[in-house]
A and B are shown apart, each in its own frame.
Chain A
């Protein structure tokens, strides 16, 4: 293995490490709303991550935290709502129009 090759591999490894690190710092998650269901119903993220809900139903829905930590407007078909979670904890939420629709976002401390 030549010195140049080793150097190149090192650079790639460094690049991968940087990309991974930035992903850990602020990842994006998506929750789909289909057939009056939040999918996935439970999502685990790290503090600093952003969750985006997208409504695929023909009926409007909301994303409403049970402790009012976050609350979307009514989302019509294909509308999105994003929230960045900064504080670790378990966040239960529901659709305030169809309260039998429930979900949870679990937020873990960053860097774990």
Chain B
């Protein structure tokens, strides 16, 4: 789902009306509900509707890439500030925030400092999982020092909130040549043990950077051993997987599992296979903010599925 699909440019540049159409389409969040395993759009909603949602609400931000300064967005710091500004303005304070990785572009101390300084202004607890850009330094020292306290192995963990069980997974470490994202045996065994003994009615939410379903293997957009992890979750009535990495909104439902990827706050990436590579996509300046944004996730007690609302920075 990208604005790209709505670009009816025939070489003479989009007309003003077409640009406005695109902005209207992309500028409004879509509220999803799911019955019988099929997602239904309840229609376009704005932030006011989102604020009325009852139950546990948390926010997802992703791929802030502090330090990125290339043409696709020379000011990634500015757009993260805008995203946090919008989060601060939400009338009903979310319970907490999750960040699904690529906090920084090059794992530099100054980039982590910038991210912390901006994200902390939301005054929310933040649960992080690393992206491949956060563990570039040889010993993964900086990420571990800042975000991995009390975690296992390469930095995975679990926690509970309002009866929902959350798993924060790492699928960007120790990747093998020719492969995609990977969880590894040690983490898979931990997932099995962590879920053992939990009631099948416990809603499960999984956070990981690279999608846990195969979006596009040609670009490495998938996790090669995710089937084993999802196998351990089969008996649970509601599983929601929240990812980043691909810098665009995508959703898929498979049985009891809803997969969802969030927008980046830094730069958009092309739809799978629509460009020579997955590199940052340069769009018109006035279009950029319609392709960046955050997601709000609401869990209502008694509901099997979580409502996810994606909100771009500019509507």
Which A residues lie within 8 Å of B106 (CB)? Answer: 60, 74, 76
The answer, yes or no, to whether B150 is at the interface (CB within 8 Å) is no
Contact A100 B218 (CB under 8 A): yes
The answer, yes or no, to whether B220 is at the interface (CB within 8 Å) is yes
A58 CB to closest chain B CB (Å) equals 4
Which A residues lie within 8 Å of B132 (CB)? Answer: 97-98
- Counting chain A CB atoms within 10 Å of each CB, the highest count among B180, B218, B278 belongs to B278
Contact B280 A102 (CB under 8 A): no
Which A residues lie within 8 Å of B138 (CB)? Answer: 73
The total of Cβ contacts below 8 Å across the A-B interface reads 60
30 interchain pairs, CB-CB under 8 A: A36-B219, A36-B277, A36-B278, A36-B279, A57-B277, A57-B279, A58-B70, A58-B71, A58-B72, A59-B280, A60-B106, A64-B177, A66-B176, A66-B177, A74-B106, A74-B107, A93-B177, A94-B176, A94-B177, A97-B132, A97-B136, A97-B175, A99-B175, A99-B178, A99-B179, A100-B180, A100-B217, A100-B218, A100-B219, A101-B220
Interface string of B169-187 (1 = CB under 8 A from A): 0000001111110000000
Interface SS of B by simple majority:
loop
A66 CB to closest chain B CB (Å) equals 5
Nearest A residue to B222 by beta-carbon distance?
A100
Q: Which residue of the partner chain, among A73, A92, A97, contacts B133 with CB atoms under 8 Å?
A: A97
- Residues from 74 to 112 in A contacting B, C-beta threshold 8 Å: 74, 76-77, 92-94, 96-102
Complex-state Cα separation, A57 to B279, whole angstroms:
7
Q: Which 3 A-B pairs have the closest CB atoms?
A: A94-B177, A35-B277, A100-B220
Please report A residues at the B interface, Cβ cutoff 8 Å.
Answer: 35-37, 57-60, 64, 66, 73-74, 76-77, 92-94, 96-102
B27 CB to closest chain A CB (Å) equals 26
- Residues from 186 to 216 in B contacting A, C-beta threshold 8 Å: none
Q: Known pairs A98-B132, A99-B178; list 12 more (Cβ under 8 Å).
A: A35-B279, A36-B277, A58-B280, A60-B106, A64-B177, A76-B106, A97-B132, A97-B175, A99-B176, A99-B220, A100-B217, A100-B219
Which B residues lie within 8 Å of A93 (CB)? Answer: 177
Which B residues lie within 8 Å of A60 (CB)? Answer: 105-106, 133, 136
The answer, yes or no, to whether B276 is at the interface (CB within 8 Å) is yes
Which A residues lie within 8 Å of B70 (CB)? Answer: 58, 77
Tally B residues with Cβ within 8 Å of A.
25
Which A residues lie within 8 Å of B278 (CB)? Answer: 36
B311 CB to closest chain A CB (Å) equals 26
A64 CB to closest chain B CB (Å) equals 7
Complex-state Cα separation, A60 to B68, whole angstroms:
10
Nearest A residue to B220 by beta-carbon distance?
A100
Nearest A residue to B131 by beta-carbon distance?
A97
Contact B277 A100 (CB under 8 A): no
Contact B177 A35 (CB under 8 A): no
Contact B136 A58 (CB under 8 A): no
Q: Which residue of the partner chain, among A36, A58, A99, contacts B177 with CB atoms under 8 Å?
A: A99
Which B residues lie within 8 Å of A59 (CB)? Answer: 279-280
Which B residues lie within 8 Å of A98 (CB)? Answer: 132, 220
Complex-state Cα separation, A66 to B217, whole angstroms:
20
Contact B178 A94 (CB under 8 A): yes
Complex-state Cα separation, A96 to B136, whole angstroms:
9
Complex-state Cα separation, A39 to B117, whole angstroms:
40
